[in-house]
Structure 1
Amino acid sequence: MLAVGDRVRWEGRAWTLAALEGSRACLLEESGALATVLLPLLLADPQFEVLDAPPQARVAAAGLLDALPEQVRAQALAWEQHVREVESGTATTGAVPRAGFDPAVTSLVQREAAKAAELTAAGEAVSVRTVRRMRARYRSEGVWGLVDRRSTRPASAVGRADQRVVEAVVAVLGQQRDRSTGTLTRLRDQVRWHLDEVHGPEVVAVPPASTFNRLVHALAQGQGLRGTAAQRRSHSSRPAAPFTPTVALRPGELVMMDSTPLDVFAVMADGVTGRPELTIALDVATRSVCAAVLRPPSTSAVDAAVLLAQMVAPMRMRPGWDAALSLQRSVVPYERLLSLDERLRGAAARPVIVPLTVVVDQGAMFMSSSFLAACATIGVSVQPVPPANGPAKGAVERAFRSINHGFCQYVAGYTGSSTAERGRQVQGEAHWTLVQLRELFEEWLVAGWHARKHAALRHPMLPHLALSPIEMWGALVSIAGYVPLPLTAEDHIELLPVRWQPVSDYGIRFDHRTYDSKALNGYRRTRSTAGASQPLEVHHNPYEPSRIWVRLPGGFQEVPWIHATQVSLPFTDSTWRHILSAVPRTGDRDAHELDLARALDALLRRAGAGAGTRRERTLAARAAAAASLDLGTPTPGAPAPDSDLDLGLDAGAATAEGTAGPCSSSDPNAEGVRQFHDADEAADSGFDEGEDGDEGEISDSEPGPPRPSRVLNPYQEAKQWL
């Protein structure tokens, strides 16, 4: 209630309410200042209060009594009866007052004395002052004010430990968060040194070892200050509370991308084994693995771009797959989808999802300018998570663990998730090539991932019904709709890493390689209006440095490396960088480049014959494995290949014998690599060896048919669907 004469606080000052006129209040300050203010504005002021007003009645905290021990709760309720009898004469409404507690013949002071005497006679030492104090608590706090406060005090985790020791332990534990794991003995010594440094030598004693250990465990409990270094890093990477789980309601609304080494050894080439790296894109709404790239170690921005290309294109049925794995046999509205996208005819039962937002970590492959530009090209928003924050993309991390449990542990060469779980001679068990392993994994994704019910996936209208990813996609796509996004051959080249390079008389040069073609003749030594060299947009593939693509007014033009014929085996950017560090420069730039090409060819031949260092054999094996994975797209404008290969089908799988079963680790996929390079050399773009076979020159003849790219294979897709 607000009445004239009340003292109120408004805008940080004390006023007296002088008059009320309808919805206006007249306020008078002690200094004589007068103010007229609307009542809604006055009452809405955050600092408004009525001064000298009696405390407001509060609802009794009866719920807190349920958490108390039975004895403490019974004692509080008994005191409530005593207080009521002292104040009103009876403990319950309608009862007859007892002798000594009748308000008609006794005063309040007399009733307080009678209650104190009664309780003392019953065995409780209660004074009149105690009765009066309990009355005051009951009026201000209700029953909760009558509770024995000793039972409500929170227990101290450190007990009666010296506060200076507690502060020292917390400080030292904080300093150990990023260090290697040590023993409690080392920690106790560090705490003693800290105390001596802060308070003086031997001023504060360190507790005995057993007491100190209990104190450390009490302080570190749940704070991520103890345990192994990995456990401490994991705790520090958790997001600050409160943390709301990510919710996606339609396919493509949120897609998480990440990369991790697969827990399986694969045969790269020439018997060299290694753990391939798996990069996946997981749709949060449907838990579908929209795309997966399996590469030799050391992924690049190309792999992230390949994920985008795979997501928006259907997965084709592979030879030998059961018809039950086709999209037509699944639960999705196949006929309706087929009327929107003819590419779905003959597709496997993997969802086709165009991403709207992708969540990535701070890895170089996802933060590269080429990947960001590729996302911007197809209208995808990139959302990087904070550094070292695994829970921000927990769905894809959980998917990796499910892949290890559902696929990797059943494959020969399984390594386990850590060295502690690894068996003996695991590398000797590996007998699947990277091509075969990828085929197995893709078939498992369709049959073992998208067709398996996930406990976390629930039907939007039937929450009790668990669904598989393909069922969830079918349920959501009927509501959210489906819009196909076919990519042309030039779109796929757009996804490759890009750099800007000028064209000189000798062509385009970067990374100590020179690329040249007749198509560059009109752009050599061109200058901008400011007089600087005019660079051209160049797209390159780290897995195939033997050629580049240059954007010209007529579209992309393939430009080969002038020394491509000097290297007879496949190589990657990592192989080239190894040669750069191993071959010193002894002549001019052109001679040095030729020396590098010859040294690279010698390394690949030496490693292919089983000679050379372990590092050289590993690099050559990874390059051969990367070459066998993807048969890609000819340069735009070239005739489409006559093969039956389509998006994602591997050259090695099509050409190597025995891809349906285990291959020999002594000669894995050799025939596929050999056929690939026979075709690769035969389709070289107009470069002939010189008279002595040492140096290539630009031929006056028209360039031959463009070679297939080992990045993607979208050309046949584009020709078929556009």
Structure 2
Amino acid sequence: MAGRDVSVLRPGDWIAYDGGDHQVVALAGTSVRLRSEDGTESVVLASFLMAAPDFSVTGTEPLPGLEPPGLLASLPDPVRDAAREWERHVVEVETGLPPGAEPGTFPRPEYDPASWSLVERAQAKADELGMSLRTVQGRRARYAQQGSWGLVDQRAVRMSEATGRADARLVAAIREALDAETSASTGTRPRLIRRVVKMVEATHGEGVVPLPSKNTFYKLIDALSTGRHTFGSAVTRRQTANRPQGPFTPTFADRPGEQVQIDSTSLDVMVVLDSGLTVRADLTIAVDVATRTICAAVLRPVGTKAVDASLLLARMLVPEPMRPGWSGSLRMAASRMPHRRLLDVDTRMEQAAARPVIVPDTVVIDGGKVFISDTFIRACDRLGISVQRARPRTPTDKAIVEATFSAINTLFVQHLAGYTGPNVSRRGDRVEERAVWTIPDLQELLDEWILAGWQARPHDSLRDPFRPKKSVSPNDKYASLVAACGYLPLVLRGEDYLELLPVAWRAVNDYGIRISYRTYDCAELGPYRRQHSGITAKRGLWEVHYDPYDLSQVFVRTQQGWITVPWVHLPLVNGPFADFTWQHARRLAAEAGLDDTNEAAVARVLDELLTRGEHGPDTRSAKVAGRTRVAAAVRAQATAPETETEPEPEPEALSPVPVADFGVFDAHAEAERWI
């Protein structure tokens, strides 16, 4: 076998295969004919033969391995240059000429293969370098098997433990202390060192485990805490520890609505309540995985009642109507979506905005901030929608909607007045005074931004499979998936939309219907006043549906159909109002000494709230009023015992008449009352 190319398989070679020795009889194309020791012949594909785990050519040296170019490039320059120099010497011994020699170059006399044998040339190289023949022969053998990597000084690539020579018992104690820091408040390295020393002494005894110096202790802690954020942000540390150990599996969806994720979060922006006070806004959205479409988005003040998932479902399954003042480019007819095809199914698409109507197959929902009502569960069962609960404290179950929140903060929220920043360290000065947006105004602005800044914007996660460098928008992705899978949504009718709204059971009296001290009445309720609804289980009460974000009207189910009943005091209020607006108005009426059950008084307070909200927040006067109410309560408590000992006033004496505070006259606000 000497002098032959050992990387070539030839007839006559003996190989080890399938638990025995075989001789190569013939080679025909990609097939190899083998003869075993007992004379049995077989034909095997060459690819199958060489891929066998026990395949080897007997009587020869192992096949040479390829050089790792990445590892060679990572070596320090002196180490790599020394390996290249040794390669020049080894090649000169093997061939008589150094690598890269010009054609026609003659070998040096002591390395001429025609005059000297390989061993004699190796001895000449050893004498030239001043080392033993064994060293040169070892370098030749490593070069034959590993190439240039075999000539590298292995001391430069030797792997070492990050903990060095530290005692294993000390390393175990540091790891245990680092694990305990995950849920604790962020401390300093000296605190951790003190806890580690106490832990080691309590476990093994004082002075048993050798402790390093302070600097070495610091280096050891830094090496073991890499990537754990032990001395950084506590939130980041907990999030990092909560990550699953296995690899991340992306969520796939091949058609619109295959999976829709729903979640809530607090936005980094301050909004103005109708009272003029400023609070954070909470956003609840539903995102389609296949197209990244924001199917529905609802804003509410932080601390109020959670958004009902049935309301989100209702908004997802109806077209988004165009609003006054919106650009014509936001119409569905102006987009690339199959508008004509959808228009043949539902005429409401003619005035619809460019947001797809997506009927979900599966809804992934977090039960923490989103209220899952019985209406939502029954509607999903009726529509064939599967509801999947996300695991507690596992944001990776709905990673796409979590990433969408981050994108909304970056692309939309940070451009708003009253932006607070992601944390306190990035918050500006007096952010509350810069807040100008109310919840209804910000909701309308958000709806318009979703059409212009999200649905029409190329999304980095939506890539053309044939042109990966090109990203597409959610609307374009929806159009392409509709063409590919033939998806055609069946949108909800008006009656179906009302079915998903919250329900209240009330009697129809002479004055109409009363819900939370709000009275609703219209002429169509005449035949049903003081009448039994026919539903014995509800004691004859009537089924009333209402929108928590627009309490200006309710919807009553009768045997002949639905009746839309407006609020009787709606002309007194300039616009629609939400449930949290009404509750806040009732609290202010009670604080002012008015009867909070008197809806006319509360309506006047509500109108003042909306008027004040239109003219911007007045946090300074609100704070002064708050301090005045607190001081008045304290004085009342302090003077209460004294008033019991004072003599009663004479019958002739009249109690002072309370003076009403009319405030400062606002001509614009007064004019709006009479419009």
TM-score bucket (shorter structure)? 0.5 to 0.7
State the SS of the aligned residue for 1:519.
coil
- Tell me the residue number matched to 1:80: 87
The 5-angstrom pairing of residues 585-604 of structure 1 reads none
- Tell me the residue number matched to 1:209: 214
Q: 1:339 to 1:98 in 2, by over 3 A?
A: same
The 5-angstrom pairing of residues 465-484 of structure 1 reads 468-474=473-479, 476-484=481-489
Q: Which amino acid aligns with 1:68?
A: L
- Tell me the residue number matched to 1:128: 133
- Tell me the residue number matched to 2:590: 609
RMSD: 5.2
Conserved in 2, the CA contact under 8 Å of 1:27 and 1:35? yes
1:112 maps onto 2:127 in alignment:
no
Q: 1:348 to 1:62 in 2, by over 3 A?
A: closer
Cα deviation for residue 177 of structure 1 reads: 1.6
The 5-angstrom pairing of residues 36-185 of structure 1 reads 48-49=54-55, 54-61=60-67, 63=69, 64-87=71-94, 89-91=96-98, 96=106, 98-102=108-112, 106-120=116-130, 126-154=131-159, 157-185=162-190
- Tell me the residue number matched to 2:293: 288
Give the alignment partner of residue 439 of structure 1, picking from 423, 429, 444: 444
Give the Cα–Cα distance (whole angstroms) in 1 for the partners of residues 438 and 177 of structure 2: 50
Q: Which amino acid aligns with 2:64?
A: R
1:311 maps onto 2:316 in alignment:
yes
State the SS of the aligned residue for 1:262.
strand
Give the Cα–Cα distance (whole angstroms) in 2 for the partners of residues 239 and 464 of structure 1: 30
Q: 1:367 to 1:229 in 2, by over 3 A?
A: farther
Q: Which amino acid aligns with 1:99?
A: P
Q: 1:555 to 1:15 in 2, by over 3 A?
A: farther
The 5-angstrom pairing of residues 435-514 of structure 1 reads 435-452=440-457, 468-474=473-479, 476-488=481-493, 491-492=496-497, 495=500
Q: 1:550 to 1:50 in 2, by over 3 A?
A: farther
Cα deviation for residue 221 of structure 1 reads: 1.9
Conserved in 1, the CA contact under 8 Å of 2:34 and 2:43? yes
Conserved in 2, the CA contact under 8 Å of 1:493 and 1:539? no
The 5-angstrom pairing of residues 375-394 of structure 1 reads 375-382=380-387, 387-391=392-396, 393-394=398-399
Conserved in 2, the CA contact under 8 Å of 1:457 and 1:472? yes
Q: Which amino acid aligns with 2:195?
A: Q
Give the Cα–Cα distance (whole angstroms) in 2 for the partners of residues 160 and 116 of structure 1: 38
Instruction: Mark the runs of 5 or more structure 1 residues left unpaired by the alignment.
Output: 29-33, 121-125, 499-515, 525-537, 559-569, 576-599, 618-623, 629-651, 668-722
- Tell me the residue number matched to 2:657: none
Cα deviation for residue 101 of structure 1 reads: 3.9
Give the Cα–Cα distance (whole angstroms) in 1 for the partners of residues 459 and 22 of structure 2: 66
**1:464-500 CA distance string (max 9 Å, x none):** 66655445545554555451322246645765799xx
Conserved in 1, the CA contact under 8 Å of 2:319 and 2:349? yes
State the SS of the aligned residue for 1:275.
strand
Conserved in 2, the CA contact under 8 Å of 1:280 and 1:293? yes
Cα deviation for residue 172 of structure 1 reads: 1.7
Give the length in aligned residue pairs. 547
Conserved in 1, the CA contact under 8 Å of 2:337 and 2:478? yes
Cα deviation for residue 297 of structure 1 reads: 3.8
State the SS of the aligned residue for 1:317.
coil
Q: Which amino acid aligns with 1:112?
A: A
Give the Cα–Cα distance (whole angstroms) in 2 for the partners of residues 445 and 192 of structure 1: 56
The 5-angstrom pairing of residues 570-719 of structure 1 reads 605=586, 607-610=588-591, 662=616
Deviates more, 1:277-286 or 1:393-402: 393-402
Conserved in 2, the CA contact under 8 Å of 1:9 and 1:51? no
Give the Cα–Cα distance (whole angstroms) in 2 for the partners of residues 53 and 425 of structure 1: 84
TM-score (ref. length: structure 2):
0.65
- Tell me the residue number matched to 1:641: none
Cα deviation for residue 280 of structure 1 reads: 0.7
Conserved in 1, the CA contact under 8 Å of 2:12 and 2:23? yes
Cα deviation for residue 231 of structure 1 reads: 1.2
- Tell me the residue number matched to 2:631: none
Q: 1:557 to 1:329 in 2, by over 3 A?
A: closer
Conserved in 1, the CA contact under 8 Å of 2:456 and 2:475? yes
- Tell me the residue number matched to 2:569: none
Cα deviation for residue 388 of structure 1 reads: 3.4
Instruction: Mark the runs of 5 or more structure 2 residues left unpaired by the alignment.
Output: 1-8, 27-31, 504-530, 564-576, 597-601, 623-675
Cα deviation for residue 260 of structure 1 reads: 0.7
TM-score (ref. length: structure 1):
0.61
Cα deviation for residue 211 of structure 1 reads: 2.9
The 5-angstrom pairing of residues 181-580 of structure 1 reads 181-240=186-245, 242-243=247-248, 245-246=250-251, 248=253, 250-268=255-273, 270=275, 273-297=278-302, 303-361=308-366, 363=368, 365=370, 371=376, 373-382=378-387, 387-391=392-396, 393-422=398-427, 426-427=431-432, 430=435, 432-452=437-457, 468-474=473-479, 476-488=481-493, 491-492=496-497, 495=500, 519-521=534-536
Cα deviation for residue 184 of structure 1 reads: 0.8
Give the Cα–Cα distance (whole angstroms) in 2 for the partners of residues 50 and 418 of structure 1: 63
Q: 1:88 to 1:462 in 2, by over 3 A?
A: closer
Give the Cα–Cα distance (whole angstroms) in 2 for the partners of residues 394 and 267 of structure 1: 31
Give the Cα–Cα distance (whole angstroms) in 2 for the partners of residues 543 and 4 of structure 1: 88
Deviates more, 1:489-498 or 1:467-476: 489-498
State the SS of the aligned residue for 1:345.
helix
Conserved in 1, the CA contact under 8 Å of 2:276 and 2:617? no
Conserved in 2, the CA contact under 8 Å of 1:371 and 1:497? no
Conserved in 2, the CA contact under 8 Å of 1:519 and 1:557? no
State the SS of the aligned residue for 1:263.
strand
Deviates more, 1:42-51 or 1:299-308: 42-51
Conserved in 2, the CA contact under 8 Å of 1:341 and 1:484? no
State the SS of the aligned residue for 1:309.
helix
Cα deviation for residue 130 of structure 1 reads: 0.8
